[in-house]
Amino acid sequence: MRPRDIAGKTRRRNAAEQLAELVAVESKIKKATAELKAIVLARGSRVMGLHGVGPVVAARVLADVGDVARFADRNRFASWTGTAPLDASSGEQNRHRLSRAGNRRMDHMIHIAAISQIRLDTDGRAYYRRKRVEGKKPLEAIRCLKRRISDSIYRQLLGDLQLAAVEDVGTGQGGHCRATQESSAVDLPLLIDTSDRPLPGPAEKTLRRTG
């Protein structure tokens, strides 16, 4: 568009400036996303292999979860992520709703993954549609899908942890066990404090008894 009046030229200039800002922001987002992807891959995590889990979601998951071994099972993990259903039954209606507790950031990340799966031709979309056919409302079907994604993330994080443990104790060349970079302080003998050491026995006699 090439307006000739002053108002039109002003709108065109403002639109061009805003478009340039959006292009710059998009470039920064792409750069940051690439950096997050490199960080996730450097951690040896395969969580991005799940549908709907991109670099941003994966990075947030790894940052917030930390050591997945601190969760006893997938149910505890789902309770922490806020995807464990809460009973909201009334009378003869058997219903559940999303939990408002747990880590809200994790719940938001899993929600992004759920919406991505619904939009694409994935197993998640098929699962969502089955729940809708069963009579569940859209929010209830999304809740079920989010719980399923939470379980998938938990299994994948456990798999990554087990794979890392196998690699740490793997054998190197010559069949010798490869040493890890971490200190094996747990295998060292405990230091005994001075007050805990056994007292020395009586000294041997070196002087002869005189007459």
3-state secondary structure the chain: CCCCCHHHHHHHHHHHHHHHHHHHHHHHHHHHHHHHHHHHHHCCCCHHHCCCCCHHHHHHHHHHHCCHHHCCCHHHHHHHHCCCCEECCECCECCEECCCCCCHHHHHHHHHHHHHHHHCCCHHHHHHHHHHHCCCCHHHHHHHHHHHHHHHHHHHHHHHHHHHHHHHCCECHHHCECCCCCCCHHHCCCCCCHHHCCCCCCCCCCCCCCC
**49 and 35 within one domain:** no
pLDDT in tens, 158-189: 999 988 888 777 645 544 444 433 333 333 33
Residue 77's domain spans which residues?
45-170
**110 and 85 within one domain:** yes
**150 and 49 within one domain:** yes
The stretch 66-72 carries a mean pLDDT of: 92
- 95 vs 43: which has the higher pLDDT: 43
pLDDT in tens, 11-61: 999 999 999 999 999 999 999 999 999 999 999 999 999 999 999 999 999
In a domain, 186, yes or no: no
Structural domains of the chain, count: 2
**57 and 115 within one domain:** yes
**109 and 94 within one domain:** yes
**159 and 90 within one domain:** yes
In a domain, 204, yes or no: no
Mean pLDDT of the chain: 80
**91 and 24 within one domain:** no
